[in-house]
Amino acid sequence: MKFGVIIFPGSNCDHDAFWTIQQVAHQPVTFLWHESHDLENCDAIIVPGGFAFGDYLRTGAIAKFSPVMESVRRFVDGGGLVLGICNGFQILCESGLLPGALMRNVGLKYVCKPVQVRVENVSTPFTNTCALGEVLTIPIGHMEGNYFCDPATLNELHRDNRVVFRYATPAGEISASANPNGSLDNIAGICNAGGNVVGMMPHPERSSEPALGGTDGMKVFHSMVGAAVPST
C-alpha cells in the first residue's frame, strides 16, 4: 500500500508521518508537494499537522486552494483513503471534505499533552483493528481543536455513525473534564459519509513507537494498511 504525505508551507508533522509509515508500518511512502496535482498513484493520503501557510486567515483557509487539494477531492470521490491529522483535519473541513469547523480552544490556550479518546466507530478503514468503545491514549498539540457544527449536522453525524473518536476519561467515560478544548459532544474525530475520509485532532504518529511513550496510534495506520489488503 503506497502512502502520500502532503507538504504545505508550514507543515511540521509531515516527516513524523513519513517516518511512521516507512519505518514502523513498513509501507511505501512519498511526499506530495502542495503545488502539484500529481498524487503519484498513492493508495492513501495523509494531510499532516502543522501550520499550513502560517494559519493566516483561518486554519486551513489558504491550504484548501492548493492544487494538490483539487486532486485529493477527486481521489476521495473515487473512494481513496484520506487521513487528516490536526491541521490536516482543519484543512479537510475548510475544503468541504468533512463538515463543521475547528475553532479556538476554550480558554484560548495551546494544549499539548496525551489524551484519551474512545473509539466510537470500528467500521471505518481507519479503525478496523480497534474494538468498539476501546480507549486509546494519543497526544494532542493544538490551539484550534474545538470542533463545532450546527445542530442538523450533529444529528446527521450521530444518525450515520460518523463520529469516530470522542475525548474520554481513561475509564472510557465521556465527560466535560475529559474534553481538552471544548469540542462539541467531545468530538475528537469524524468521517465523511463514505467512510473513506477521517479527520482527527490527536496525533497517532506521535504514539506509534514505545520510545514515544505508547503505540496506540499505530492502530490507525495498521487499520488503513489492513483495509487495503484484499480478503481471501
DSSP 20-70: IIIIIS---EEEEETT----TT-SEEEE--B-GGGG-SSTTTTGGGSHHHH
The distance from CA 163 to its chain's CA centroid, rounded to whole angstroms, is 12
Q: Is 150 within a domain?
A: yes
Pick from 37, 45, 99, 92: which is nearest to 68 by CA?
A: 37
Distance CA 157, CA 143 (A): 24
**Catalytic position from the list 86, 93, 149, 191:** 86
Q: For CA atoms 29, 5, 228, 201, give the dihedral sign.
A: positive
Q: Domain limits at 57?
A: 3-227
142 a catalytic residue: no
Cell digits for 60? 486551513
Q: Is 121 within a domain?
A: yes
pLDDT digits (tens, 9 = 90+) for 84-114: 999 999 999 999 999 999 999 999 999 999 9
CATH of the domain at 13: 3.40.50.880
pLDDT digits (tens, 9 = 90+) for 35-91: 999 999 999 999 999 999 998 888 999 999 999 999 999 999 999 999 999 999 999
203 a catalytic residue: yes
Distance CA 167, CA 170 (A): 10
Residue whose C-alpha cell is 484560548: 108
Q: Is 200 within a domain?
A: yes
| Per-residue pLDDT at 128 | 97
Local structure of residue 180 (DSSP, 8 states): S
Q: Is 91 within a domain?
A: yes
Distance CA 92, CA 137 (A): 23
Q: Is 232 within a domain?
A: no
Q: Is 205 within a domain?
A: yes
DSSP, residue by residue, 116-131: EEEE---SSTTTTTSP
The count of structural domains within the chain is 1
**Catalytic position from the list 42, 93, 149, 203:** 203
pLDDT at 229 over 80: no
Distance CA 195, CA 191 (A): 5
134 a catalytic residue: no
pLDDT digits (tens, 9 = 90+) for 157-212: 999 999 999 999 999 999 999 999 999 999 999 999 999 999 999 999 999 999 99
The count of other CB atoms within 10 Å of the CB of residue 79 is 10
Position 122, amino acid: V
